[in-house]
């Protein structure tokens, strides 16, 4: 029996601002009169945000406010500066963990609306979830799985956690909601460098016609490897030792393609690219293997819009194997 999405209001209480962040119902709000979805404006546009399109900002890292270091500080002032810096990082992590707990409570309520045996992607496709709710579920599930290891690191290292994480390369053990700006920027730069390297290898020119491939096991190995590297579906450590974990890739690629395709449909249905907040726009582009570092919002939005349009004429795999300049046009 088909289950239609019920009129439903979900409220996420943000520890960032102590405001209600998300209200979701069957009635799509007008883009010209929006509720205050975003308690801070450094990562999102309040006026062009759809409450069913953009997840609450409690699914993103909280603001990080660090003290400014003045030149030629005396020793006592340097100690004060380092103390304040450590305290700011500790506050950042605590705020992120509190936000994750609020997200988890909302996650449990949303899971009750998904019939047993269905994935979040299936529920989104069936109209049981909005795009905002879908991404809240995805991000919360991902971040909660990292809490045990991160909690241990935070308990041991305290305010020195960012130094330890960056020095030892433990970014993967930290919930995304607790990533500091330097981690986010560094991860994006490395992902884009890896993608450029894969394109330079020139082994993906045979991607046309792959829309007829029914299972990812049928993908040629060079294309499978490129798509997986472009989307970050396996660790760069495998590249360093010259081995590709081919046995793991078909399932991961299949799931990634499904996520991208249902998200493309949800973006079109629930407001369009122009109503994505700035940070959500970058995250959506990243998930499709599109570059965002050093690119203005308008450029990222234009490329993402072209992706969604091109998907009507080409397969997801085909687009992943081409640069935007080579995508089919209307």
Q: What is the pLDDT of residues 264-318, one digit of tens each?
A: 999 999 989 999 999 999 999 999 999 999 999 999 999 999 999 999 999 999 9
Contact 23, 51 (CB under 8 A): yes
Query: What pLDDT is stored for residue 215 in this prediction?
Result: 61
The mean pLDDT of 219-233, rounded to a whole number, is 91
Token couple for 321: 């194997």
Instruction: Name the burial class of residue 139, with classes exposed (0-12), middle (13-18) and buried (19+) by CB atoms within 10 angstroms of its CB.
Output: buried
**What are the tokens at 286?**
């990243």
Closest C-alpha to 5, from 271, 266, 259, 255:
266
Give φ, ψ of 277 to 5 degrees. Answer: -65, 165
Q: How far lies 134's CA from each of 49, 53, 57, 138, in Å?
A: 16, 10, 14, 6
How many residues in total does the chain contain? 330
User: What pLDDT, on a 0 to 100 scale, did the predictor assign at position 302?
Assistant: 96
Per-residue pLDDT at 208: 54
Angle at 323 between CA 321 and CA 325, to 5 degrees: 135
Region 60-82 average pLDDT: 86
Q: State mean pLDDT over 13-18.
A: 47
pLDDT of residue 27: 35
Residue 207: its pLDDT value, please? 53
Region 158-170: mean pLDDT is 84
* pLDDT score, position 205: 54
Residue 46 is predicted with a pLDDT of 33
Q: Which two three-digit tokens encode residue 74? A: 């005396």
Supply the pLDDT for residue 204.
56
Under 8 Å between Cβ of 37 and 49? yes
pLDDT band at 104 (very low <50, low <70, confident <90, very high): very high
pLDDT at 233: 94
160-187 core/surface letters (b: 16 or more CB in 10 A; e: else):
ebbeebeeeeebeebbbbbbbeebbeeb
Task: State the pLDDT confidence band at 163, using cuts at 50, 70 and 90.
Answer: confident
Q: What is the mean pLDDT of residues 57-79?
A: 87
Using one digit for the tens of pLDDT, what is the confidence trace for 175-201?
A: 999 999 999 999 999 999 999 999 988
pTM over 0.75: yes
The SS3 assignment for 120 reads: helix
């Amino acid at each position: 029996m088909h289950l239609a999405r019920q009129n439903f209001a979900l409220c996420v209480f943000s520890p960032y601002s102590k405001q209600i962040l998300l209200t979701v119902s069957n009635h799509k709000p007008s883009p010209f009169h929006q509720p205050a979805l975003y308690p801070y404006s450094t990562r999102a546009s309040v006026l062009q945000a759809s409450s069913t399109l953009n997840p609450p900002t409690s699914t993103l890292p909280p603001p990080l406010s660090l003290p400014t270091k003045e030149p030629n500080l005396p020793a006592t002032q340097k100690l004060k500066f380092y103390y304040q810096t450590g305290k700011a990082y500790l506050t950042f992590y605590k705020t992120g963990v509190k936000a994750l707990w609020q997200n988890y409570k909302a996650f449990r309520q949303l899971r009750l609306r998904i019939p047993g045996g269905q994935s979040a992607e299936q529920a989104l496709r069936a109209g049981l979830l909005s795009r905002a709710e879908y991404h809240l579920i995805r991000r919360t599930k991902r971040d909660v799985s990292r809490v045990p290891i991160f909690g241990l690191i935070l308990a041991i290292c305290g305010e020195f956690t960012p130094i330890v994480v960056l020095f030892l390369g433990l970014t993967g053990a930290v919930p995304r909601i607790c990533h500091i700006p330097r981690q986010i920027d560094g991860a994006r730069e490395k992902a884009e460098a890896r993608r450029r390297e894969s394109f330079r290898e020139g082994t993906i020119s045979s991607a046309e016609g792959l829309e007829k491939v029914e299972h990812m096991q049928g993908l040629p190995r060079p294309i499978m490897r490129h798509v997986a590297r472009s989307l970050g579906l396996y660790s760069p450590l495998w590249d360093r030792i010259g081995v590709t974990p081919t046995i793991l890739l078909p399932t991961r690629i299949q799931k990634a393609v499904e996520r991208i395709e249902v998200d493309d449909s949800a973006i079109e249905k629930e407001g369009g690219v122009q109503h994505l907040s700035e940070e959500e726009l970058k995250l959506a582009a990243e998930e499709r293997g599109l570059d965002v570092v050093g690119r203005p919002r308008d450029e990222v939005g234009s490329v993402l819009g072209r992706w969604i349009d091109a998907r009507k004429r080409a397969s997801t795999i085909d687009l992943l194997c081409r640069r935007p300049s080579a995508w089919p046009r209307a």
